């Protein structure tokens, strides 16, 4: 049973940095147009790597968001977190003052954090010695400094933390922030995920695990969730941050409300370090619990933003949706926006929560691109190629990660 007296949480601001563009407007425009942000890697020479493609963020200037003297204190994932947070705060018309600062918190995580800086300063240490390692090295790379730097920037003195749960990070951060507001410990939370690990070591590691696509000659068609010829995910980078706010607090401010974050659940597979069980039992329980928590009927769910990464596990998520919805699964539109952005790891849940929120708000469901070859084990309505204008009551955003972690969010119309 849903506690009818618990505080309700709404979404009043959104911000993103993605391979499709800087900011929500450009990213959403590209998303609904079915454009891909996947290209050959330019960050370093990847010619010797099995995978040579990624969803890089292009044309990002941290100086547009951060004072020059502060930039060097942060690795790139923190730059992205600050930029996405700034857009979300501006979008929500949120003013943080000494009078309300202790009622505003931050909950932004990452799956890996400052790996590029670790790689860089390891080389500095080897080549030039310990005296040349930056005094800012540690705060550059530790994951909670995304939340820490955002809190410092805006003077948010309420709850400040982060989740570090691989590819479920963004959803866990949003869900935990949602609970903080429900419990009355804050009125507003900036929450989401950030990641920037398109680096030699990350690429080598994921490739060694045979997790990455090797469609190097055709980058824009490499990420192909649910397609029979999918051969692995494409790593991406960026950040997605939402302003979550207690309903009456938002109404008193008179700001636009995109929708309500109504349900959240998390479960564990307790099965394998990287692979889900064939029946997806943990994910099934997670979706079921989130729907119950939201207090909606399954028939109210009009869209699912799938975790689907363009790997073998897409068929398991398909089976999970069938188990949860039964025959109704064939009437629920599903898409994987990773077909356009690649997989942003710890940032995936954040940006996909933004996409799900915008789909609900605009009545426009983003497509799954590159779905060209039917897979008999992936036979749901994946909104192929083109967006679909449909007014919906509620939507789900799924996120599943290494370690068997599952996190599901349910958004609904207010």
Known catalytic residues are 167, 307, 343
C-alpha pair distances (Å), 300 with each of 47, 176, 396, 412: 48, 24, 11, 9
Cβ-contact 329, 302 below 8 angstroms: no
Dist CA 173 CA 158 (whole Å): 15
Backbone phi, then psi, for 116, in 5-degree steps? Answer: -60, -40
Angle between helices 200-208 and 115-128 (to 10 degrees): 120
Q: Which stretch of DSSP H or E encloses residue 206? A: helix 200-208
Residue 252, C-beta contacts closer than 8 angstroms, at least 6 positions apart: none
Q: Which stretch of DSSP H or E encloses residue 107? A: strand 104-109
C-alpha pair distances (Å), 359 with each of 274, 349, 363, 386, 387: 30, 15, 5, 14, 10
């Amino acid at each position: 049973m849903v506690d009818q007296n618990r505080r309700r949480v709404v979404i009043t601001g959104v911000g993103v940095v993605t391979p499709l563009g800087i900011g929500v407007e450009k990213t959403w425009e590209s998303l609904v147009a079915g454009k891909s942000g996947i290209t050959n890697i330019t960050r370093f020479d990847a010619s010797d790597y099995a995978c040579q493609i990624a969803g890089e963020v292009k044309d990002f200037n941290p100086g547009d968001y951060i004072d020059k003297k502060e930039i060097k204190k942060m690795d790139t994932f923190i730059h992205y977190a600050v930029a996405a947070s700034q857009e979300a705060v501006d979008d929500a018309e949120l003013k943080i003052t000494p009078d309300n600062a202790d009622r505003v918190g931050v909950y932004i995580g990452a799956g890996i954090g400052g790996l590029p800086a670790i790689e860089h300063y390891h080389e500095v240490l080897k080549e030039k010695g310990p005296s040349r390692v930056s005094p800012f090295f540690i705060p550059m790379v530790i994951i909670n400094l995304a939340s820490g730097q955002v809190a410092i920037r805006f003077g948010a003195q309420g709850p400040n933390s982060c989740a570090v749960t691989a590819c479920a990070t963004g959803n866990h951060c949003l869900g935990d922030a949602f609970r903080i507001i429900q419990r009355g410990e804050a009125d507003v939370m900036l929450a989401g995920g950030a990641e920037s690990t398109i680096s030699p070591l990350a690429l080598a590691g994921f490739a060694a695990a045979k997790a990455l696509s090797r469609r190097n000659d055709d980058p824009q068609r490499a990420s192909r969730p649910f397609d029979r010829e999918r051969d692995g995910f494409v790593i991406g980078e960026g950040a997605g941050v939402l302003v979550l706010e207690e309903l009456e607090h938002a109404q008193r401010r008179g700001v636009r409300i995109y929708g309500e974050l109504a349900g959240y659940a998390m479960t564990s597979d307790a099965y394998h370090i990287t692979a889900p069980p064939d029946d997806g039992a943990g994910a099934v329980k997670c979706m079921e619990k989130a729907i119950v928590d939201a207090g909606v009927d399954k028939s109210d769910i009009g869209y699912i933003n799938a975790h689907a990464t363009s790997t073998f596990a897409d068929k398991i998520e398909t089976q999970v949706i069938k188990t949860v919805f039964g025959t109704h699964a064939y009437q629920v539109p599903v898409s994987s926006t990773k077909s356009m952005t690649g997989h942003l790891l710890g940032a995936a849940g954040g940006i996909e929560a933004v996409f799900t929120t915008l789909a609900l708000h605009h009545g426009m469901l983003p497509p799954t691109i590159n779905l060209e070859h039917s897979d008999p084990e992936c036979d749901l309505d994946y909104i192929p190629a083109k967006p679909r204008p449909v007014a919906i009551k509620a939507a789900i955003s799924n996120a599943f990660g290494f370690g068997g972690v599952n996190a599901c969010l349910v958004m609904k119309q207010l």
